[in-house]
Structure 1
């Protein structure tokens, strides 16, 4: 039996209102079905190219050239595996990870999960605020404080999208991703990296991360790649497609959604790789091995490359990255609030609350530390995300391994082993990152 289509205009940020809103004709050709299922993966991919990723990729490229490129690749492959688990859970059960967690665990445990998930969204939004503020600072010449205040007005964008359908939101996200992608293609043409060295950087090498500093950066890349709130988000937004509650239709939906997920995250991988390659070619290869700040990278691009266009494109893509993350953060917030608390508020209010909570530490940091606040707070936001990740991974893996919940779509043994291996590696890596960061701050 198919989900009923909503009879009223829907808002793209409210997951419960757009469930089953994209109908897929049963007799449609394969290519048309692919197009209909394409979209949720794009929203997820945004979380893998936010300003937090920029900070780690730029520092890795400037310090170690192309040596840590394989870390970006392996982290993205791990993200693909975990997002596919989340997608499968949502399609098979017809419920999202947050709602299933509320039903499965005690009220106190569910409240802790909710608080940690909300904290991860605020931490991610903090990175978006800092990225947007820095972009405004670079493009308009305003102070960082003014840039932070300007980011508050993105709530107006959310208001402007009320009444639009979910496909409109997906189209907007595609446009923003295309802006980032085209910008980096042009920048790489201007920088002209040494492609044989790029290819060697894709080969995994323990020697490349054998020392403390590159290992710290490698774990930072991993921690900035897999976003905990994306796991909650993906299990919800895949339900926007109409899927008949029969084995064959569910299996087809999983296959098509898996393709959407992998292709979208490959795009994110290419953009993250492009950031690192740009930093390696523009800075490391020219002797600028200490570029660890996004603003420093912007200022050095024009004189190193010999064209002001590269610096302008850098700032524009940074702004597009931060704004696109705004949309997905709002949807994720709605999913988590509705799932854990069974509470729904207007989407613009949800956006306002999240952005207000992120603005406070951003403004305090900028006032106390000046321009140096951006790098420090970006690192702090990634540590907060790292702390929360295992609390989202554990229930996801347990649920997709549960035959009473998943039936014939339960994880097979190779998938189970891979999932628990990733859980162990990511948890250990994130714990090490947190310990090292606390020691660095002390």
Structure 2
């Protein structure tokens, strides 16, 4: 109804929109399974290789102290993703389309360019993480591993041809593999339960210790991915729920349930990385472990179990591959939403991948693997810069009764959302200033 009122063109994701059937009745489990999928695709961005370095550094340096920050970050993410789902279901527009409808052309161009840069930065982290995993598991040099990452475009294209459910099943399978790897890591490292639970309680040291605060801001800044907000507002519309007020309310309820369960899984994975670092490295006095490769090399010797490092690398590889799927899909949504520009799927994904692979190849060839590690940090800084440009429009839109109709966010929810937006903006500015200060 809204699309006809504003004269909007094709629906988000074109033929995939409303392509997944949902039951009109049946048990709650059957309906939950029908709506399950988009949340797990979104959860991928919350456990991508860009998050691993901050979790490793936090655990090795401060033990379990920063678990409270991971918990807070995920709670913020759950609310923001629920708002993205609300926007898509209530309006029939994804976040990029809503920006195009509500903002002037210059503002839209700025938002589009910023989002494209953020997607490339996110893809950059995924290419580096995948290349590192290939090196650790198969001995493939980092340079050639980065080049091989361009080939996963064809995997994504093949999955898309099988339908959106096939894509979701692939992502969920790799998420399950990551989850099992870290379940095994927890069993091998045997962390002290009391200390772990205490870590989830916020403590003043997080704020009073400058280094702890900086790492905490890094964890917060790297957790909420801007492209996930665009992605989620679109892919929730793949479900064929009734486009009536009652149908939308039901769709929103199941979509929020789906994303909350999926982000709980992401919370476990991020916490598990930090807990592993705290139990294995911090407890042994190795507070200097901040690098993914360094963690891989030390895990098995320090635990005395040969499989520990392999599990770590397998989870990293699954994380990198999974993240490429969602990042390239988000790129398609952003381009079509802001520009109404439709190019062949393979061309869009190949372009996005090449823009990410090229810097990794050049930096690795010129500066070696040390330069690649710095490039990974830079990618997270770029993401931090773009995040407010996605969060602020989202909160504005879901608080707009004229746009949202009956599903507008209430005053209490809007107030909490604006508070979270303010916290994210302040912390990311702090992170940005601190990063550039340290680089001088």
Aligned to 2:21: 23
Q: CA deviation at 1:317?
A: 0.6
Q: Distance in 1 between matches of 2:64 and 2:197?
A: 9
Which aligned pairs between 1:336-415 and structure 2 lie closer than 5 A? 336-415=334-413
Q: Distance in 1 between matches of 2:41 and 2:148?
A: 23
Aligned to 1:178: 176
Q: Distance in 2 between matches of 1:165 and 1:374?
A: 35
Q: Distance in 2 between matches of 1:181 and 1:63?
A: 24
Aligned to 1:206: 204
Larger CA deviation: 197-206 vs 372-381: 372-381
Query: Structure 2 unaligned runs (5+)?
Result: 4-11
Query: 1:84 and 2:82 equivalent?
Result: yes
Aligned to 1:311: 309
Query: 1:33 and 2:31 equivalent?
Result: yes
Match of 2:248 among 247, 250, 254: 250
Name the SS for the 1:161 alignment partner.
helix
Deviation string 1:36-71 (CA, Å, 9 cap, x unpaired) is 011100000000000011010001000000000100
Name the SS for the 1:350 alignment partner.
helix
Q: CA deviation at 1:243?
A: 2.1
Once superposed, which parts of structure 1, at least 4 consecutive aligned residues long, lie more than 4 Å away? none
Aligned to 2:9: none
Deviation string 1:357-406 (CA, Å, 9 cap, x unpaired) is 11122122223332223431121111100100111111111110111111
Which aligned pairs between 1:45-194 and structure 2 lie closer than 5 A? 45-194=43-192
RMSD (Å) for aligned C-alpha atoms: 1.3
Q: Distance in 2 between matches of 1:114 and 1:253?
A: 28
Q: CA deviation at 1:187?
A: 1.2
Contact 1:330 1:347 in 2 (8 A): no
Name the SS for the 1:66 alignment partner.
coil
Contact 2:52 2:292 in 1 (8 A): yes
Aligned to 2:428: 430
Deviation string 1:124-170 (CA, Å, 9 cap, x unpaired) is 00000100110011111122112111212112212322421111111
Which aligned pairs between 1:257-272 and structure 2 lie closer than 5 A? 257-272=255-270
Name the SS for the 1:361 alignment partner.
helix
Aligned to 2:8: none
Contact 2:160 2:166 in 1 (8 A): no
Q: Distance in 1 between matches of 2:265 and 2:356?
A: 28
Which aligned pairs between 1:202-241 and structure 2 lie closer than 5 A? 202-241=200-239
TM-score by length of 2: 0.96
Contact 1:55 1:375 in 2 (8 A): no
Aligned to 1:7: none
Q: Distance in 2 between matches of 1:23 and 1:177?
A: 23
Match of 2:42 among 41, 44, 60: 44
Larger CA deviation: 162-171 vs 423-432: 162-171
TM-score by length of 1: 0.95
Query: Structure 1 unaligned runs (5+)?
Result: 4-13
Q: Distance in 2 between matches of 1:378 and 1:299?
A: 19
Aligned residues: 431
